[in-house]
Amino acid sequence: MDNNKKQIWLPLFFAIVMIFGMLVGYNLHKHTTSSNFFSSGKTNSIQEVVSLIQNKYVDKIKIDSISEATINDLLSHLDPHSIYIPQNDVQAINDDLIGNFYGIGVEFQMFEDTVTVISVVKNGPSEKAGVQAGDKIIFVNDTTKIAGVKITTDVIRNLLRGEENSKVNITVIRDQKQQKITITRGSIPVSTIDASYMIEPQTGFIRLNKFGEKTYEEFMEQLEKLQKEGMKNLILDLRGNTGGLLNEAVDIADEFLSNNKLVVYTEGAKSARYEFKCKRDGLFEEGKLIILVDETSASASEVLAGALQDWDRATIIGRRTFGKGLVQQQFSLSNGGALRLTVSRYYTPLGRNIQKSYTNKSKEEYRRDALGIEPHEKYENEDSAHPKPSFKTPSGKTVFGGGGILPDILVTTDSITLTNNIAKIYHTNFLNKVALKLYIQNKNYLSKINSADKFYAEKLPTENDLSLVEKIAKSDSISLQKFSEKEKETLLFSIKKLIAKQMFGNNGYYQLANKTDKVVLKAMEQVKQ
C-alpha cells in the first residue's frame, strides 16, 4: 500500500527535487567560471545545424523550440540533475528560493470550477482587506471572470500577484451574497519552516521544508525562541525536504558542531576540492539531537544529516534518503533561460558520496528508485546487506556511502493509513473541501478553543459529521461505502488535522499529526533514553 501513495506523490516530489534539490551548488559561482566562459570565436556542428535549419528549412519553424529540444536531448546523456530552465520559469524558481513574492496573501483551491479561499495569511494584505476563508472569488478587476471557466491555477496566481502597493479588485461570494473587495498587494513571506513548537517539556520540534535564502535566519529565530521556552533536546524534521542552498545547510550544521569541524566538501573533475567548515561557536552543541529523514529528503538535507551522523552529533531516524550527491551551478543563457549543470560531487566529512547510481537508467527509472523497491527493513539486522563502502565514525559506529543516508534507527511506513481507498482520497481536493466546510460550519464553537492540544482532545469531527462527509464525497463521485471503520477513522483524523491548520496554521497541523506519527513517536522514545 505504501507504493500506491508514493506513485501518486513521487512525480510531484521528483519535480521538486529537480528544481530545489539541485540548488545545492548555487553558492559556488564565485569559485568557478567567469562571465566570459561562453566566449568563443568558433562554431561547432550543433550550432551549424541549428543555423542551417533556421536559414534553409522548407517551412517556417520556431527556432527556440528546436534549441530547447536540442539542449534537453544533450542533457539527457549526462546525469538526471543537469537541467535546462526556460525563461518563463526562471523568475518563479528564484522567487521561491528568495522566500517572498508580491501578492494578496491567500491559499486557494478550485472546487467545482470555483476559486475558493482555503486560508488567509495572518496580517497579510487580504486579511487587512477583509477576505475570509471560504470566500469564492468569481471576478478579478471586475472584468476577468475566473469562476465556471477553464482556467489554470498558474493563470489565477498571475492575476492575483503584481507589483508592491499595486491594487487589485476581487469579487467574492460569501453567504450567497456578492461582495467587492479592494486589496493592496504586499510582500508575502514564504517561510521554509513548517512548524516549530515544544512537543514535550524540554523537547523542541522544528520542521524544515527546504533550504532557501532565509532558512538559517528563520531557523535561528525559532531555535532561540524554543531555548527560551526551556528546550534541552531537539527533533529536526527533514522529511520531504528536497534540498536547496548548500550554505544554509552548512550554517545550520555549524550551530550543532563544535570547533573547526568539516561539514561537507565538493570536488569534481574540473572543480578543485572546496571545504565548508564550522566558523563559530554553535547555539546547540550539546543536548540530544534527533534528525528525521525519509526517501524524499534530498541534497542539502542529506548534507546536514550526513555531517551530523559522521560526527556522532545526532541520531538519524526514519527511512533511507533519496541519494543525491551531485552539485549543480546555474549559468544564465542569452535567451533568458538558465542551465543548471552538474559541476562536482559533494562528500560528507568522512568522505562519503551518497549519490545513488544513475548509470544506464532513464530519468523515470531513477525517479522510481525512491519508491522503495528495496525494503529498508533488509538493512536493519544484516550487515552484509548494507551498501558499500563503509566508514567508521569517531565513536566507532559504521556508516555507509553510495545511495542515500541510511538512518541509525529505521521506521517503516504505517500501511494502515495507506490503503487504496485512502490513497485515492489523497489524490483529490476532497479533504480540503470537507475541512473548510466543517471549519466554517463550526467557526463560533472553534473560536473558543485556544490551543491545538485542546482541539486534539475535542470530539470533532464526530460521527454525526460523517453524514456531511459522505454527502460531499457523493457529490465528488467518491464512495465511502467500502471504507472500513479504521479507514473512516483515518479519514476523519486527516480532516481534523486540516481544521487545526485553519485554526492555528501549520503549527496546529503538525501538532496533531505528530500525535500519531510513528517516526516522531520513535524520536521521542529516543530522547527519553
Q: What is the 3 state secondary structure string of 379-400?
A: HCCCHHHCCCCEEECCCCCEEE
37: pLDDT confidence band, cut at 50, 70 and 90?
Answer: very low
In a shared domain, residues 251 and 323: yes
Per the domain annotation, does 461 fall within a domain? Answer: yes
Are 357 and 98 contacting, i.e. CB atoms less than 8 angstroms apart?
no
**Sequence letter at residue 339:** L
Are 167 and 183 contacting, i.e. CB atoms less than 8 angstroms apart?
yes
Please give the model's pTM, rounded to 2 decimal places.
0.84
Question: Given the C-alpha cell 490551543, which residue does it identify?
Answer: 451
Task: Look at 474 and 36; give whichever has higher pLDDT.
Answer: 474
Question: Given the C-alpha cell 476532497, which residue does it identify?
Answer: 430
Whole-number Å distance between alpha carbons of 27 and 25:
5
In a shared domain, residues 106 and 61: no
pLDDT of residue 364: 74
Is residue 277 among the annotated active site residues? Answer: no
Question: Given the C-alpha cell 465511502, which residue does it identify?
Answer: 480
Q: What value, to the nearest 5°, has the Cα angle with vertex 244 and ends 239 and 247? A: 115
In a shared domain, residues 467 and 439: yes
Give the end of a domain, one of 189, 208, 223: 189
Q: What value, to the nearest 5°, has the Cα angle with vertex 429 and ends 130 and 152? A: 75
Whole-number Å distance between alpha carbons of 114 and 107:
14
Residue tagged active-site, from 119, 271, 299, 344: 299
pLDDT of residue 16: 54
pLDDT of residue 417: 56
Asked if the model's pLDDT at residue 304 lies above 60, the reply is: yes
Q: What phi, psi does 207 have (nearest 5°)?
A: -120, 120
Closest CA to 504 of 454, 469, 441, 433: 454
Helix or strand run (H / E) with residue 173:
strand 167-174
378: pLDDT confidence band, cut at 50, 70 and 90?
Answer: very low
Per the domain annotation, does 527 fall within a domain? Answer: no
Per the domain annotation, does 485 fall within a domain? Answer: yes
Per the domain annotation, does 529 fall within a domain? Answer: no
Quote the percentage of the chain above a pLDDT of 70.
Answer: 86
Is residue 281 among the annotated active site residues? Answer: no
Asked if the model's pLDDT at residue 335 lies above 90, the reply is: no
Asked if the model's pLDDT at residue 27 lies above 90, the reply is: no
In a shared domain, residues 177 and 231: no
Compute how many other C-beta atoms are within 10 angstroms of the C-beta atom of residue 209. 22
Are 492 and 465 contacting, i.e. CB atoms less than 8 angstroms apart?
yes
Residue tagged active-site, from 237, 310, 369, 465: 310
In a shared domain, residues 160 and 185: yes
pLDDT of residue 29: 45
pLDDT of residue 369: 63
Per the domain annotation, does 376 fall within a domain? Answer: yes
Domain span at 430: 415-516
Are 224 and 199 contacting, i.e. CB atoms less than 8 angstroms apart?
no
In a shared domain, residues 292 and 305: yes
Asked if the model's pLDDT at residue 414 lies above 80, the reply is: no
Whole-number Å distance between alpha carbons of 84 and 75:
8
Give the end of a domain, one of 413, 433, 466: 413
Mean of per-residue pLDDT scores for the chain = 85
pLDDT-wise least confident of 1-10, 26-35, 36-45, 401-410: 26-35
Whole-number Å distance between alpha carbons of 54 and 46:
12
Tens of pLDDT, residues 220-275: 999 999 999 999 999 999 999 999 999 999 999 999 999 999 999 999 988 899 99
Q: In total, how many domains does the chain have? A: 4
Q: Which of 227-231, 319-323, 411-415 holds the top average pLDDT?
A: 227-231
Could you tell me the CATH number of the domain that includes residue 208? 3.90.226.10
| Helix count and strand count (H, E) for the chain | 17, 21
Give the end of a domain, one of 395, 413, 431: 413
Per the domain annotation, does 467 fall within a domain? Answer: yes
Sequence-ordered list of residues with C-beta below 8 angstroms from that of 56, at least 6 positions apart, any chain: none
Asked if the model's pLDDT at residue 381 lies above 50, the reply is: no
Helix, strand, or coil here: 253?
A: helix
Asked if the model's pLDDT at residue 174 lies above 50, the reply is: yes
In a shared domain, residues 233 and 274: yes
66: pLDDT confidence band, cut at 50, 70 and 90?
Answer: confident
In a shared domain, residues 281 and 426: no
Asked if the model's pLDDT at residue 183 lies above 60, the reply is: yes
Mean pLDDT of 435-449: 92
Sequence-ordered list of residues with C-beta below 8 angstroms from that of 275, at least 6 positions apart, any chain: 262, 264, 265
Q: Which three cell numbers stand for residue 15?
A: 519535480
Helix, strand, or coil here: 350?
A: coil
In a shared domain, residues 151 and 41: no
Task: Look at 285 and 476; give whichever has higher pLDDT.
Answer: 285
Are 268 and 348 contacting, i.e. CB atoms less than 8 angstroms apart?
no
Sign of the dihedral defined by the CA atoms of residues 123, 125, 131, 137, in that order:
negative
Sequence-ordered list of residues with C-beta below 8 angstroms from that of 433, at least 6 positions apart, any chain: 109, 111, 472, 476
Tens of pLDDT, residues 206-223: 999 999 999 999 999 999
Helix, strand, or coil here: 290?
A: strand
In a shared domain, residues 125 and 156: yes
Residue tagged active-site, from 6, 136, 210, 324: 324
Are 166 and 195 contacting, i.e. CB atoms less than 8 angstroms apart?
no
Question: Given the C-alpha cell 467574492, which residue does it identify?
Answer: 172
Q: What is the DSSP letter of 31?
A: G
Mean pLDDT of 393-409: 93
In a shared domain, residues 123 and 67: no
Tens of pLDDT, residues 150-173: 888 888 988 999 999 999 999 999
In a shared domain, residues 93 and 105: no
pLDDT of residue 386: 47
Per the domain annotation, does 357 fall within a domain? Answer: yes
Is residue 310 among the annotated active site residues? Answer: yes
Per the domain annotation, does 204 fall within a domain? Answer: yes
